[in-house]
Amino acid sequence: MSLSSRRREQLSAAPSADLSTRWRLAVGPANYAGQAHHWARAVERRLGGSAVSFAVEQRPRLRPGRGLSFHADHRLPHPRMTTPWGRSRRMRRVLRGATHVAVDGFLPVYGRVGRSDLGEDVRLLARQGLRVALISHGTDLRDPDAHIQRNPFSYYATAPREWVDLARGLARRHRTIAADLGVPLFVSTPDLLLDAPWATWLPVSIAVSDWCTPRPALTARPPTVLHRPSRTVPPIKGTQIIDPVLRDLATRGRIRYLAPETVAHAAMPELVAGADIVVDQILTGSYGVAAVEAMAAARLVIGYVDPPTRALMPDQPPIVDAPPDRFAAVMEEILADPAAYADIAAAGPAFVARWHDGTAAAEALRPFLDGSIATT
């Protein structure tokens, strides 16, 4: 069955009766962009069971004042800020009463980052009687060489060799772990199905109501364009290509440009609502949480979802493709006739409601939780 037909069949199913006496799900510890927490709430709403999220705190002395930016039901100290015994004790408390664990981001559950074998953690959880699944978010699973082959604009192509070698080895190790353990594998972005065809798409999810805004996009003159610069090294959004183009347009009075270096996630809904156009990422060939949030706000989203990824999608995201070699030209086309793109922006909320309000994610997890797919 294709991704498209399988997902539509899942979404057509009526919500289950209360399953809270049958299972209790724990999701963590990566919680990237608050996804573990959103997925936990989604399965409670849609499936009627019980779920908790857990996440690891950032290391305070490395990022003073930053702390954990996203909600989680349970917060664990950074592995370097506690003892293995202390972390294990806290995890036992988190997992008390759990029947299922979705290990998020290929991070260790019990051990120290970089010092533990995730496979050992998964086998330990299984011995404790827990059903286990893995969740990937991107670089933790993505094959750099395959990504370059299908996407000529891949961020791996220009990244430092040492970083690519490290990413290649880590992703290969994670794919091997996932295959050897035989547990269900979920991926948060659809392009990762190209790297792990046996996986299941677990759509990123947001609190849609946080992003609704009454002002339609593309009504301001000049339009306001928002791009949050890459904070990773190497940059994977394509900021090094995006920023010069947008700064030039702003200098010429064609746009009002917002490029916040650091902003709390709680402030993002207001920032997105004040924009007409949100430029996301143009090097990964996919889309993530930031694009979903902007679509929910009915902003015009500029990005690049490459053809192989679009071919996998059961429904096409209303994202204007602007690969690096056409980014400047696409911006000029939009600015020449903003009204022509209004319908694309307006289609965002409906797309998000279909795929990213948590319903589709809960349905993706249903077979894992109800036992209709095999787990170790």
Q: Quick check: 88 and 110 in contact, CB under 8 A? A: yes
pLDDT of residue 109: 85
Gap between the Cα atoms of 38 and 55, Å rounded:
12
pLDDT of residue 186: 98
Q: Quick check: 359 and 11 in contact, CB under 8 A? A: yes
Rounded average pLDDT over 253-274: 93
Q: Which residue has the tokens 């996407």?
A: 151
Q: Does the structure show a pLDDT above 50 at 11? A: no
pLDDT of residue 8: 45
pLDDT of residue 323: 97
Distance, C-alpha 287 to centroid of its chain: 8
Q: Which residue has the tokens 């015994």?
A: 85
Gap between the Cα atoms of 266 and 330, Å rounded:
30
Domains of the chain as residue ranges with CATH? 3-205+358-370 (3.40.50), 208-354 (3.40.50.2000)
Mean pLDDT computed over every residue of the chain: 88
What tens digit of pLDDT does each residue of 164-182 get?
999 999 999 999 999 999 9
Q: Could you tell me which residue, 305 or 231, shows the higher pLDDT?
A: 305
Closest by CA to 60, choosing from 82, 35, 38, is 82
Q: Does the structure show a pLDDT above 70 at 193? A: yes
87-96, 162-171, 213-222, 331-340: the lowest-pLDDT one = 87-96
What tens digit of pLDDT does each residue of 33-82 get?
999 999 999 999 999 889 999 988 765 544 443 434 788 888 876 666 56
Rounded average pLDDT over 151-176: 94
Gap between the Cα atoms of 134 and 108, Å rounded:
11
Reduced to 3 states, what is the DSSP secondary structure of residue 80?
helix
Sign of the CA dihedral with 72 first, then 77, 80, and 83 last: negative
- The residues with which 186 forms a beta bridge, in sequence order, are 135, 200
Per-residue DSSP letter, 135: E
Distance, C-alpha 95 to centroid of its chain: 24
Q: Can you read off the two tokens belonging to residue 43?
A: 């399965």
Radius of gyration of the CA atoms of the chain, in A? 21
Question: Which pLDDT band, with edges at 50, 70 and 90, does 13 fall under?
Answer: very low
Question: Which pLDDT band, with edges at 50, 70 and 90, does 83 fall under?
Answer: low
With a CB cutoff of 8 Å and minimum separation 6, the contacts of 17 are 48
- Model pTM greater than 0.75? yes
8-17, 83-92, 127-136: the lowest-pLDDT one = 8-17
Gap between the Cα atoms of 120 and 127, Å rounded:
10
Backbone angles phi, psi at 300, to 5 degrees: -75, 120
pLDDT of residue 116: 55
Distances (CA, A) of 165 to 143, 156, 158, 276, 285: 11, 10, 13, 39, 20
Distance, C-alpha 58 to centroid of its chain: 19
101-115, 258-272, 344-358: the lowest-pLDDT one = 101-115
Gap between the Cα atoms of 359 and 204, Å rounded:
10
pLDDT of residue 10: 44
Q: Can you read off the two tokens belonging to residue 306?
A: 């490459």
Question: Which pLDDT band, with edges at 50, 70 and 90, does 1 fall under?
Answer: very low
For the chain, give the percent of residues with pLDDT over 90.
70
Distances (CA, A) of 141 to 103, 184, 359: 14, 14, 25
Highest mean pLDDT among 59-63, 128-132, 201-205: 201-205
Question: Which pLDDT band, with edges at 50, 70 and 90, does 284 fall under?
Answer: very high
- The residues with which 211 forms a beta bridge, in sequence order, are none
pLDDT of residue 224: 98
Reduced to 3 states, what is the DSSP secondary structure of residue 221?
coil
pLDDT of residue 40: 96
Distance, C-alpha 265 to centroid of its chain: 14
Q: Does the structure show a pLDDT above 90 at 22? A: no
Question: Residue 29, preceding bond cis, omega within 30 degrees?
Answer: yes
For the chain, give the percent of residues with pLDDT over 70.
86
